[in-house]
A and B are shown apart, each in its own frame.
Chain A
């Protein structure tokens, strides 16, 4: 467990709601038709509408970058702006970047494969190769903001977003950074979408214009959410929430069911006033996470259900789940951000909501 040291003092996001600093104004989104590639009939997803990054963050040059890197640059800039932090006043060798992603820069990875398909492996285009590396978004965030602290890109089946938050808090706790920009996100590409489809993971809502049904698959999404994490106590810091501790474990245990015991240990006797469910794309996740939330919080527990837009981000959805939950003005007090992988794996982050 990572004990509490950190406050979430800034929020930024590039999501199907658009590029935004701070909380996301409540509004119901429906999936959109995919037009970026030819599909066999109607196919829908939660998509980030094209926008000009330099229109949001003046001076940004993103032409050669994967969209994931461009969105990370925009989301991090919006979060830093929201936190009211002037990075020039900080020792930037003490500012970390921690990025959680399931698939990394899928777009430029595909572009590199495309150049191999067109020209053979001997004739590949060099430009997508380094920009397609999974750590390229975090590197660009460091480069743009001049951040010379630890620069970490993590992935974890089902829990990349939660893991990024836990690792960032750990860096602060161990004095390895004074401030961390935590990001999580993924992009949708044709081969990613068609993989979900071939694997039978998609919701019926991907194939028709009906409103979202409960359960039964997910609607893929894309975007990047960014949080500024700093040691609690800066007087002028905006306090969206305090990160107190986090724990996660893989699924498939012979003794599945221990997650309740482990989470209760982490809660140390306190009962969460609200549990924020972080669906991770697995079809059974929404029900399993809600059941786990009820078991921990008791029958009267307030539960913020998993939001379809964030659940569609699969592994990297947790920070967007959190932002959406905070935007709905949940109860004050201890809150649990809870995700399950459907096979007994879980991630639990204990927060304090002011």
Chain B
């Protein structure tokens, strides 16, 4: 539990932005978000995502076309552009989602300029699927024949690092490139590690996020684990039956406040704190009291130097599986015990499903939207919430209130947890 009041804050006005942040005294160590690119089932762009979630529109729909015999509920991205002629087989669907999101993220930069291309900007991307969407079971029967029949380039997209390379090549930037795999916490972790790299001076700017495509491999895998809900998921509801898979990508442009000020950039949000922990409990099940997740949130709050009372909204991992949601609720009870009022929490996976390696970055984008717009998003279809007196399970209508700080929480198979705390930037017009 983080407690105690903060001393008076200082205010600094930079580029139409008012940031209340004691660490502003060192702009070289303050990490800000200056671009957000999104591809979601709502379409391309943060505005599409923002409009979709603020209007409460659910993208989850019955699906039967992913593989023969599959019947379930997913959220898919429609109309994803194909690469130029000849390049199609070089990129997986996850690559393409990432490339479109990255291009969207840098839309406000002069990304064709030599200065941008020679800037040494880095890429830190996450994907759990990566090129698995391009591989079929034929590969294991006779790999050499499968490669001869056109599989060679498709298989080259298999490593998660290929997604980072695709983004770097697409934008023509050549700083450090890296991929992170931490299952469903991957892209939140990519953002955290990219922030570390900026503090290390490893690059002047980092594009960080995640991308994952729907594919038979993951749908079949989660189905075999009996983790999928047949209908649209109901996170944190007593009657939840599992998760739905979605697809998408989100990429944040991160840089130091000093760097952003130098190029007179608009600052969308401040990444105030971040943390990563592991449950060290089980490969697929979360620790039931959510201890690892609670530790993660506490460490992020310590880094941000904020108390539990100051977190105005938590965008939860909230998958809708029986075990995850109970563990997560326990973690919130632990971390926010002693708060003057229950902490507002919702799961936006109820809008467009669980996008796996892209989930953390998409939810970071939604959390940034929440702080910019002062909008607390409800969980859809939440009629009978898990009993948790320390938590205000948001449901019904979008609630509007000033939101200086919000937290995005991610967890994944293998016990990985990541928490990101975003501070408000310029208000939403």
Interface residues of A (CB under 8 A from B): 1-3, 40, 92-93, 97, 102-104, 109-110, 112-114, 116-117, 120-122, 124-126, 129-131, 133-136, 138-140, 142-143, 145-157, 160, 163, 166-167, 170-171, 173-174, 176, 190-191, 194-195, 197-199, 247-255, 315, 344-345
Contacts and interface: CB of A to CB of B under 8 A. Distances in A.
> Chain B, interface size: which category?
35 or more
A133 B280 contact: no
Interface in B276-298: 276-284, 292, 295
A139 B185 CA distance: 13
A198 B144 contact: yes
A153 B180 contact: yes
Given A113-B137, A148-B292, A97 B278 contact: yes
A113 B139 contact: yes
B183 A121 contact: no
Nearest to B135: A113
20 contacts: A40-B144, A92-B280, A117-B137, A122-B70, A133-B181, A139-B283, A146-B280, A151-B278, A153-B182, A155-B181, A156-B161, A157-B161, A157-B164, A167-B193, A170-B196, A170-B200, A176-B275, A195-B143, A250-B174, A253-B118
Interface of B: 67-70, 117-118, 120, 123, 128, 132, 135-141, 143-144, 147-148, 152, 155-156, 158-162, 164-165, 168-169, 173-183, 189, 193, 196-197, 199-202, 216-217, 219-225, 275-284, 292, 295, 412-416
Contacts of B165: 157, 250
A130 B180 contact: no
A318 to B, nearest CB: 14
A113 B140 contact: yes
A130 B276 contact: no
Given A154-B180, A157-B177, 10 more contacts: A102-B161, A104-B159, A122-B67, A122-B70, A129-B222, A143-B282, A150-B277, A151-B416, A176-B275, A252-B174
B280 A191 contact: no
Contact of B415 (A117, A151, A160, A253): A151
B144 A148 contact: no
A138 B68 contact: no
Contact of A124 (B68, B224, B283): B224
B68 A121 contact: yes
B221 A176 contact: no
A190 B179 CA distance: 24
A216 to B, nearest CB: 20
Nearest to B186: A135
Contacts of B275: 176
Given A130-B225, A131-B283, A151-B182, A116 B152 contact: no
Nearest to B161: A155
A116 B216 contact: yes
If over half of B's interface residues share one DSSP class (helix, strand or loop), that class is named, otherwise mixed; here it is: mixed
A122 B221 CA distance: 9
A93 B302 CA distance: 15
B159 A155 contact: yes
A133 B413 contact: yes
A198 B413 contact: no
B202 A122 contact: no
Contacts of A139: 278, 283, 413-416
Q: Which 10 pairs show the lowest CB-CB distances between chains A and B?
A: A139-B414, A117-B137, A129-B221, A126-B224, A134-B181, A150-B276, A151-B278, A155-B161, A191-B143, A198-B147
Contacts of A135: 181-183, 412-414, 416
A155 B179 contact: yes
Contact of A121 (B128, B220, B280): B220
B225 A114 contact: no
A125 B181 contact: no
B179 A154 contact: yes
A155 B222 CA distance: 24
B200 to A, nearest CB: 5
Contacts of A251: 174
A3 B196 CA distance: 13
A199 B295 contact: no
Contacts of B159: 102-104, 155, 157, 315
B201 A136 contact: no
A217 B128 CA distance: 30
Contact of B68 (A1, A120, A146, A315): A120
A255 B279 CA distance: 45
A151 B140 contact: no
B225 A148 contact: no
Contacts of B174: 249-253, 344-345
Contacts of A151: 182, 276-278, 414-416
A93 B178 contact: no
Contacts of B282: 143
B181 A156 contact: no
A263 B219 CA distance: 45
A120 B200 contact: no
Contact of A152 (B70, B162, B182, B197): B182
A314 B15 CA distance: 46
The listed residue with most A CB atoms (<10 A of its CB), out of B182, B223, B415, is B182
Contacts of A190: 140, 143
Nearest to A344: B174
B161 A197 contact: no
A248 B203 CA distance: 10
Contacts of B217: 112-113, 116
The listed residue with most B CB atoms (<10 A of its CB), out of A154, A166, A251, A344, is A154
